[in-house]
Structure formats: C-alpha cells, structure tokens
Amino acid sequence: MPDISNFDISRTIMGTLGIDIVEFTQERVVATMPISEKTLQPFGVMHGGVSVVIAETVASAGSYLFIDRKRQRAVGLEINANHIRSVSEGVVKAIGIPVHVGRTTIIWDIRIYDQTEKLVCISRCTIAIINIEN
C-alpha cells in the first residue's frame, strides 16, 4: 500500500468539499463540512449526494482503524441515505459508529446533523475488506 502520510488531501473530494475529520477512534469517527456553493444543488440546499460523500468518507476512514493496512484495503461496498431535512448554510457534522466489525465487512451507521444539531440524514454504509495482492 502506498504511504499516504504526506498525501495532499486538498486534491481529493475531501479537500474540494472541505471535509475535515475531527475525531478518529474505533468507537466513532466525526467529520465536519461547511455548506458552500460546491455542496448545493440548484434549489439552494445541500445536494443529497454530498450527504453520501461525507457518510462514506467517515465509514471508509474509520474502517482503516480495524484492518492490517499492509495487507488489506477498505472499500465501499454499499451505501444508502435517508434525507430527513434540508440544510442550506452553516456546517454539517457526520458521526459514524461501527455496528458490525467482521473479517470481510464493516457496517457503519452514520448520522449527519446541521449546526443546530438537528438530524439531516441517516446513512448505512457497508465497507468490504479486501486483501491486497502482491
């Protein structure tokens, strides 16, 4: 696996959308993201796909805490999102909790909140653990 310790995150979707991981433990992963023109759909509210991006970012990043990074990778296998309310400004916070940590899959529950702590989206993400072939 390539060394990503000096990876330029600004050139990724995380950098483009301003996603910042602010808590990173096996118990939970928390990320924040500002709402901006980059995250809005034409009607002025956060695009539903952006909710999916931050949710999968939390799940994927958190899954690396459970694997052997020299021999395995964590990749998104399935994700769904239920959009509860719209948000058009401020900052959203995604909180991911692993609900199943298995040998080949990790399942995450991710809840996204607006800055007033109202629920915006509930997502479930299944991460596949794959072996790296040498």
Residue 24 belongs to some domain of the structure = yes
Which residues, 6 or more positions from 105, have their beta carbon under 8 angstroms from its beta carbon? 77, 126, 127, 128, 129
Range of the domain at 23: 9-131
Residue of 48, 53, 52 lying closest to 12 (CA atoms) = 53
Domain-embedded: residue 78: yes
**CATH of residue 83:** 3.10.129.10
81, 94 contact by CB (below 8 A): no
The answer to whether residue 108 is domain-embedded is yes
pLDDT of residue 34: 98
pLDDT tens for 79-120 read 999 999 999 999 999 999 999 999 999 999 999 999 999 999
Mean of per-residue pLDDT scores for the chain: 94
Does residue 4 surpass a pLDDT of 60?
Answer: no
Distance CA(86)–CA(38), nearest Å, equals 16
Choose between 133 and 124: higher pLDDT: 124
**DSSP category for residue 133:** P
Whether residue 77 is contained in a domain is answered as: yes
Domain count, the chain: 1
Is 89 noted as a catalytic residue in this protein? no
Q: Is 2 inside any structural domain? A: no
CB of 46 closer than 8 Å to CB of 35: yes
Among the listed residues 23, 27, 37, 56, the single catalytic one is 56
Q: Residue 63: inside a domain, yes or no?
A: yes
The predicted-structure confidence for 41-63, as pLDDT tens digits, reads as follows: 999 999 999 999 999 999 999 99
**Do 23 and 30 contact (CB within 8 A), yes or no?**
yes
Q: Is 23 exposed, middle or buried (0-12, 13-18, 19+ CB in 10 A)?
A: middle
